[in-house]
Amino acid sequence: MIYILNIETATKNCSVSLSENGKTIALKQLAEDQFGHAEKLHLFIKDVLNEGKIALKDLSAICVSKGPGSYTGLRIGVSTAKGLCYALEIPLIAIDTLAILAEKLSVNDGFIVPMIDARRMEVFAQIFSKDHKAVSEVVSMVIEDETGFSEYNQNIHLIGDGALKCIPVLKSDKFIYYDDIVYPSANEMAFLGHQKFITNDFVDVAYFEPFYLKDFMLTTKK
C-alpha cells in the first residue's frame, strides 16, 4: 500500500488528507478568515492518521501544496512537510496549488481557470484545459477588464476565492462562475500526489522552497 500525507495550507483553508493508493481515506480541513494554520496543522495531521489507523512510520511520502498563495501559509505547510520527510526519511512531493484547485471541477467544454486571491484586484491564475492540462503559465494578474482572456472563445470556468471578486469585471457570457468552489483542498491532492509518487517525481527536501510568484505576461504554451 502507498500511504501519502497531503498538506494544503496555501490559502485560508488549512487542509490535510491521508491517501491510500491515490484515494482519500481521511480528511480534515477548516477555512477561516484568520490564518490559524500553525495551531491547526499538527492537530489535523494527528487526526487523519488516527482516522486512517496509520502510524507516521507507515507513510510512503509527504505531499505538499507548493504555491502560489499566502506567504505565511505556504511557509508553515512546507516547513512541516520537510521536517516530516527528514525525520521519517521519506520523499517529498510538491504540487502546484492552482492545479489542486483546478482538479476540484469537472467540465465538458472550454477552459478551467482557478484563481487565488492576492490583493485588491490581483489574483494568481492559470488556464487549464477541460482535461486539467495546463495551457498557460502561472501568473499574477490584475483583473481590470477581459483583455487577458480575449484569445479564448470557448467557455471559461472560473473557480476560487480570486474568481469571486472578478464577477463585476468579467461579465461576458463565456465566463461561468462556481461560488461553491473557493479553496484548494488536500482531498484532490490524493490523486495528484499518487501520480507523482508512482513516477518518482520527487523534489529535493534540502533545497525545496515554496513557489513565490512574480508578475509576468499571460502566455499560451505552443
The dotted CATH code for 3-97+184-199 is 3.30.420.40
pLDDT surpasses 50 at 217: no
The DSSP element (H or E) to which 115 belongs, if any, is strand 111-119
Superfamily of domain 105-177: ATPase, nucleotide binding domain (3.30.420.40)
Task: Please measure the distance between the N-terminal and C-terminal CA atoms of the chain and give it in whole angstroms.
Answer: 39
Give percent of the chain with pLDDT exceeding 90.
Answer: 84
pLDDT surpasses 70 at 222: no
Over range 76-87, report the average pLDDT: 98
Handedness of CA 175, 180, 186, 191 (dihedral sign): negative
Q: With contact defined as beta carbons under 8 Å apart, do 176 and 157 qualify? A: yes
What the block records as the C-alpha cell of 29 is 480541513
Over range 114-129, report the average pLDDT: 93
pLDDT surpasses 60 at 167: yes
pLDDT bin (cut points 50, 70, 90) of residue 212 is confident
What pLDDT, in 10s, does the model give residues 92-110?
A: 999 999 999 999 999 999 9
Alpha-carbon span 95 to 137, nearest angstrom: 14
Over range 152-166, report the average pLDDT: 95
pLDDT at position 209 is 96
Over range 186-196, report the average pLDDT: 98
pLDDT at position 68 is 97
pLDDT surpasses 80 at 174: yes
Fold match between domain 3-97+184-199 and domain 105-177 = yes
Alpha-carbon span 15 to 30, nearest angstrom: 7
Give, as one character, the DSSP assignment of residue 141: E
pLDDT at position 35 is 73
Question: Can you give the pTM of this predicted structure?
Answer: 0.92
Over range 125-146, report the average pLDDT: 94
Alpha-carbon span 160 to 158, nearest angstrom: 7
Q: With contact defined as beta carbons under 8 Å apart, do 216 and 129 qualify? A: no
pLDDT surpasses 90 at 121: no
What pLDDT, in 10s, does the model give residues 6-36?
A: 999 999 999 999 999 999 999 999 998 777 8
Domain ranges of the chain: 3-97+184-199, 105-177
pLDDT at position 181 is 94
pLDDT surpasses 90 at 81: yes
What the block records as the C-alpha cell of 214 is 512574480
Contacts of 39 (CB under 8 A, 6+ apart): none
Mean pLDDT of the chain: 93
pLDDT at position 83 is 98
More confident residue, 221 or 89: 89
Distance of CA 144 to CAs 28, 124, 196, 216, Å?
A: 36, 14, 36, 16
pLDDT surpasses 70 at 91: yes
